Structure 1
Amino acid sequence: MATDIKKMISNLMEFYDFNNQTIITVGSGGGQFIEYGRVSKNVIAIDNDEIALQKLKENLLKSGLDSKFTLIHSDFYLTNLKADVVMFEFCLHEMKDPLAAIKHAQTMAPNILVTDHWPESKWAYYVDEEEKVKKSWAVINSLSTKKVQKYDGLQLFNDYEEIYQKVKVQGENSINRIAEFKDKKNITIPMSYGFALL
């Protein structure tokens, strides 16, 4: 799979000024967007997935950013830290109650940054997350936002097997939805995403 991660990072860095900021990042997973750590003061990465944190640790070591990051294996709701910004990295839609997550984040920082799939994203449909994404953006749109920006990207796959390996963890609906790509090569799926600053 290939997405233009560098472009996504560039968009993120243009959207929010991470310079000398203390950042709490939620759902930082494998660490695809860690480049903001280069300009930040420090980053506290919270994830309840120990395997994802291990992948993040490996990526931090490779990038030389390990001294900037503190990794915490915990449920986000059980943390009570302070920072300049709490950033949800493509995970708000996975939270059972997005409003409660944002409200908790507001007790930790004056700025809340949400990065997530856009409601009409074809990719969100294929990975069976469109309803969760719509729900989380409805919550965001019900709150006072400082700015919101939509971006259009692409997910690129060499063949069906590659896309299957990516989406199989999402379950039967996702597997059924990608059936149209069987026997196809060079698969391109639009992936709209957005950032919101609250």
Structure 2
Amino acid sequence: MKLYFAPGACSLSPHIVLREAGLEHTLEKVDLRSKQTATGVDFRTINPKGYVPTLQLNDGSILTEGPVIVQYLADLVPEKHLVPKAGSMERYRVMETLNYIGTELHKGFSPLFNPATSDAGKEVAINALLPRISLIAKQLGNSDYIAGSQFTVADAYLFVVLSWSAHVKLSLADWPTIQAYLARVAERPAVHAAMVAEGLIKE
């Protein structure tokens, strides 16, 4: 499999899951501004949506949308317990969290990365994110991971999105449990390896 990614973008989530799952894969970096891959291919010929993550399967077919990709990858290695069993309420809870991260957190950060967003617009975006982060903190509680004691694909996605706070001047000081959670996830070998591979941290 090949993962098309942009360093530190939401594609870091399936990158982490690939490594947690122990699945063989290659990586190809995408310049999201020029829409060119590292090998000089027009990325839109691979994924007409023009954004990452994009996963090329071994049969050459393409799968897009991060929350779908991570569930697909987790289902390839059920013994890793990266997602609960299909049909179980625990599975639906993870799916529920993935959807919340995608629609309420991920998209909530988007204006903060847009250079066209005014300072007032950024303030509005941050104020909208704060109660959503509070809700996540409440859901996390004293658990090691968002679904309890087991690391799941929802943690890979949540870790990536909440880590963006450091780049957009959104303080997480009011949520020590979230700060501890991010530090805990960052220490996982697969997470560390993915971040090193993307050039986000040093070995």
Question: By percentage of residues, which structure has more helix?
Answer: 2
Question: Which has the larger share of strand?
Answer: 1
TM-score by length of 2: 0.30
